[in-house]
Structure 1
Amino acid sequence: MRYAFQWIRSLFFIIQMYFVMAIMAVFFTPFAIFSRDWVYRAVHTYCRWVRWSAGWMVGLKSEIRGEVPTEEVLIAAKHQSFFDIIMIVSVVPKPKFIMKSVLRFAPILGWYAMRLGCVPVDRGKRAEAIRQMMDGVKDGSAPAGQLIIYPQGTRVAWNAKTNYKVGISVLYRETGQKVVPAATNVGVFWPRHGIYRRPGLAVVEFLEPIEQGMEAKPFMKHLEDEIETRSIALMKDAGFDPDAVD
């Protein structure tokens, strides 16, 4: 009975989440057309709404820990569900992503993504897209900001393990920027798929930045160790032990 009630609460939460997205898009778009500041205001407002409404509608509180990066950096984040994106975007000043090229054509979302300075990438052309992004930042045609990268390449369930991809080390070298690792336990409350949202405290924690100067292999090992060790600790604090799951 308790599960059924929480499932219904979760369903209403998801419905309102997308309903509010549509309303905010209609409201903010006329302003966002003329000013990128309004684009940031729109995405921050929406993400903060989702966090706030999750707290009272399904009992899922959320907390950001560590020093929020505000300069031009790479954020290498553990990615377990849509909610960790929401949490990070709600606090970093100028978020942007590397995204699939086809998403440019998604109604409303594609336009907002391009206005944020997200980098559309065709398969096999990532290096070219990164060079274009860096050139655009330098000549003023693309906004600077915090480029959010998911080193595992996709959402990974809280109790699953997936190798880290070397693309983040290429970005680390090519951009000359430091990397801020981000750990999370979000997946134990908000899964990759399905409607049910579990109550609790979802955490995204920004860890110590990795400065420039590391070789690729030591960098990758250090990054993975930092993110995975802290994410496992956060999940255990929430009562879930991924190491104990076969």
Structure 2
Amino acid sequence: MILIRSLLFHSAFYLTTAVLAIAGLPVLFMGRHKVQAYAKFWTGSLVWFLEKICKTKIIWSGLENLPQGACIIAAKHQSALETLSLTTKGTDFSYILKRELTAIPVFGWYLKGAGQVAIDRAKRGQALPDLTRQVREALAQGRQMIIFPEGTRKRVGAPPEYKSGVAHLYADTGAVCVPVALNTGLFWPRRSLSIHPGAVSISFLKPIEPGLDKQSFMQLLESRIEAETAKMIGSALAADPSLKRVLAAPDIAVS
């Protein structure tokens, strides 16, 4: 049943994405805020499908910790689920992504139209200064920068590997940073088609105010996220021991 529901969701995902991508082309000429609103409608629709088809419901907590204006949102990254769902909260979001994605026909047009921050990794040494400039401009517009400090999705239980880029942006921009803990990887594991039913936890934690040095910031960010994530995983496994099979499943890429 889990596999059937998962396949139905993925079918709805791609069909909805294709239909909205074509139907929304006129929105691209209406300005960034309209494109942002359309993107939130898309992600909100997918989260709704996830709950209705897969019986996978997101339980949010700590929303009071999310400022209305500019901030850095630094989230644990275990699944595609948080990539979609984080956009449904807050006001004006922006992701940091590789520039190659903006070259994808239609999809890339929406990324550009929504004003997402794209970096050219081929520049290497120049990439960080360029990224910092773009993030500063986005924060000056009151936007909320969503960053995954580990850079890529991590398997549940894998040792954390936080990169220094988030500390550089925190120190250079002087922005408040809101850590995000979650247990999404138990329900929609990376590299897996199967999506498991249950109550997914995503929590905005106590903000880290500007002013810390980079090392202290990194230590505090990682300790807060990892401690709360471990609690969430433990609570989910206690509530539904069958989720332990996700931890035992091989981490194999889906072709």
| Shared fold, TM over 0.5 | yes
CA distance in 1, matches of 2:137, 2:173: 12
Gaps of 5+ in 2: 249-255
Asked if the contact 1:83–1:190 (Cα under 8 Å) also holds between the matched residues in 2, the reply is yes
Q: Which residue of 2 aligns with 1:234?
A: 232
Q: 1:152-175: CA deviations, max 9, x gaps?
A: 111001121232111111000111
Q: Which residue of 2 aligns with 1:60?
A: 56
How far apart are residue 23 of structure 1 and its match?
1.1
Q: Which residue of 2 aligns with 1:128?
A: 129
CA distance in 1, matches of 2:47, 2:107: 19
How far apart are residue 144 of structure 1 and its match?
3.9
Asked if the contact 2:135–2:145 (Cα under 8 Å) also holds between the matched residues in 1, the reply is no
Asked if the contact 2:174–2:211 (Cα under 8 Å) also holds between the matched residues in 1, the reply is no
Pick closer, same or farther for the CA change 1:134–1:62 going to 2, 3 Å.
Answer: closer
Pick closer, same or farther for the CA change 1:8–1:179 going to 2, 3 Å.
Answer: same
CA distance in 1, matches of 2:129, 2:115: 16
CA distance in 2, matches of 1:137, 1:151: 18
Q: How many residues align?
A: 237
Of 63-72 and 77-86, more deviation after overlay is shown by 63-72
SS of the aligned residue for 2:212 comes to coil
CA distance in 1, matches of 2:224, 2:28: 37
SS of the aligned residue for 1:62 comes to strand
Q: 1:12-39: CA deviations, max 9, x gaps?
A: 1111111101111222220232222221
Of 206-215 and 18-27, more deviation after overlay is shown by 18-27
Asked if the contact 1:64–1:205 (Cα under 8 Å) also holds between the matched residues in 2, the reply is yes
Q: Which residue of 2 aligns with 1:73?
A: 71
Q: 1:127-183: CA deviations, max 9, x gaps?
A: 222243156448x8xx54111111111100112123211111100011110100001
Q: How does 1:5-84 map to 2 (within 5 A)?
A: 5-67=1-63, 68-84=66-82
Q: Which residue of 1 aligns with 2:145?
A: 147
Gaps of 5+ in 1: none
The one-letter amino acid paired with 1:45 is F
Q: 1:101-121: CA deviations, max 9, x gaps?
A: 111111222222222222211
TM-score w.r.t. length of structure 2: 0.86
Share of identical aligned residues, percent?
30
TM-score w.r.t. length of structure 1: 0.89
> Where do 4+ consecutive residues of structure 1 move more than 6 Å?
none
Pick closer, same or farther for the CA change 1:144–1:116 going to 2, 3 Å.
Answer: farther
Pick closer, same or farther for the CA change 1:107–1:92 going to 2, 3 Å.
Answer: farther
**What do you get for the CA RMSD once the two structures are aligned?**
2.0
The one-letter amino acid paired with 2:169 is L
Asked if the contact 2:12–2:49 (Cα under 8 Å) also holds between the matched residues in 1, the reply is no
Asked if the contact 1:89–1:95 (Cα under 8 Å) also holds between the matched residues in 2, the reply is yes
SS of the aligned residue for 1:238 comes to helix
1:172 equivalent in alignment to 2:173: no
